[in-house]
Amino acid sequence: MSRFLDACYRRPTDATPVWFMRQAGRYQPEYRALRAKYDLLTMLRTPEIAVQVTLLPKALGVDALILFADILLPLVPLGLGLRFVPGKGPLLERSLRTVDDIARLQPFPIEEGLGFVLETVRGVRAAEPDLPLIGFAGAPFTLASYALEGGGSRHYQRTKTLMYAHPDAWDRLMRVLTEVTAAYLQAQVQAGAQAVQVFDSWVGALSPAMYRRAVLPHLQRLFSRLADLRVPRIYFSTGTAGWLPDLRSLDVEVISVDWRVDLDRAWAQLGGPERVAIQGNLDPLALLAPRDVLREQVHEVLRRAGGRPGHIFNLGHGILPDTDPDQVRRVVDWVHEATLAV
Ligand code: 1CP
């Protein structure tokens, strides 16, 4: 078995497993060399390239791989038209503007709309049988925010306006996105993914009451639908430290927390190591700090985890493009060295 999968199920491991959100990406010279030749969507849609990029972090010594894909890909078969604009990030050509747009939205067959992702999953498994592969998707709220805003956002004005003014349309949108996400993750696992992570990157923009009322019931349905897959399910969110106890109602193996909360405190609020595994939670900016400061920050996270089974070391959010790959490699080594059972 693997350290990563064992830790997801809170079984003791020989050392604490470590991987990084956004571990395949712009901070790597090998990735930048590929990006100089191909645009991002081409890389994402070409399984041979996506397999190669997924495997790049192996050189860092990580304990798991995450599929090279993007949470926004399902918005293409949903008819919203995705482009990545250099320097600006993702832009949708046809974002949802009216309640009628939402009424027309329909789930699609995953193999038809996103078959290239499943091909990438199969390719990674064939090329790397030893390291577990994590599949992923965007959470319904985070996907909805892109579908409504048309790209990244600061205040989530359209999203929140819809939630407050048209709760029925919001509910329909969340149902369609939950349905698509469940089918997409099922297909990834059938293709060979050994764990799944759901990214709720922007849900911290909500109030606790709004999260409970308009988001949590959909997440509960999503994760229940994934229970039969018998692979670890990871829920990642940021900015949710104010309502962590509410996440206890999710049927998941692992909760991933950001750096805005102490790991031990978060774990206790989530029910502790008896109930759920925890992933996190180094500040990604610590990777840009001097080496001894970084080391101290890594040890602070490990100290709060206390060597209890069920900790997966990760960042609180994705690696930033300015990160030095050597710093990332150091973190992997320090985590393993400090936790290796003797
Ligand atoms: O080369 C480039 O210009 C690309 C940057 C990039 C990369 C490497 C984008 C554009 N997407 C990806 C791949 C990607 N996206 C992966 C696989 C790589 C890995 O993790 O190792 C994953 C897991 C994602 C997930 C993703 N995409 C999230 C959730 C995670 C998070 O960081 O919060 C989000 C919000 C996106 C949207 C997105 N895609 C790309 C950008 C720049 C963004 C964020 C835009 C914004 O701020 O709204």
Q: What is the rounded CA–CA span in Å between residue 8 and residue 231?
A: 9
Q: Quick one: which of 290, 301, 295, 284 has its CA closest to 330?
A: 295
Ligand 1 in reach of 89 Cβ (< 6 A):
yes
CATH 3.40.50.300 fits 3-339, yes or no: no
27 is catalytic: no
**Looking at beta carbons, which pairs linking 84-93 to residues 24 or more positions away fall under 8 Å?**
84/39, 84/40, 84/41, 88/151, 89/151, 89/152, 90/146, 90/151, 90/152, 91/150, 91/151, 92/146, 92/147, 92/150, 92/151
278 CA → ligand 1 middle, Å? 22
275 is catalytic: no
DSSP string for residues in 202-224: TGGGS-HHHHHHHTHHHHHHHHH
213 is catalytic: no
Ligand 1 in reach of 156 Cβ (< 6 A):
no
Stated pTM of the model: 0.97
Annotated catalytic residue within 31, 146, 156, 184: 146
118 CA → ligand 1 middle, Å? 18
146 is catalytic: yes
Ligand 1 in reach of 81 Cβ (< 6 A):
no
Domain range annotation of the chain: 3-339
250 CA → ligand 1 middle, Å? 25
Annotated catalytic residue within 10, 27, 63, 70: 70
Pair of tokens at residue 207:
């109030």
54 CA → ligand 1 middle, Å? 13
Return the pLDDT at 41: 97
With a cut of 50, list the residues of the chain below it in pLDDT: none
φ, ψ of residue 237 to 5 degrees: the values are: -145, 165
Ligand 1 in reach of 64 Cβ (< 6 A):
no
Using the atom order of ligand 1, give the atom closest to the CA of residue 153: 48
Beta bridge partners of 84: 90
Ligand 1 in reach of 229 Cβ (< 6 A):
no
Q: Which residues of 175-318 form beta strands (DSSP E)?
A: 195-200, 233-237, 254-256, 277-282, 311-315
Return the pLDDT at 223: 98
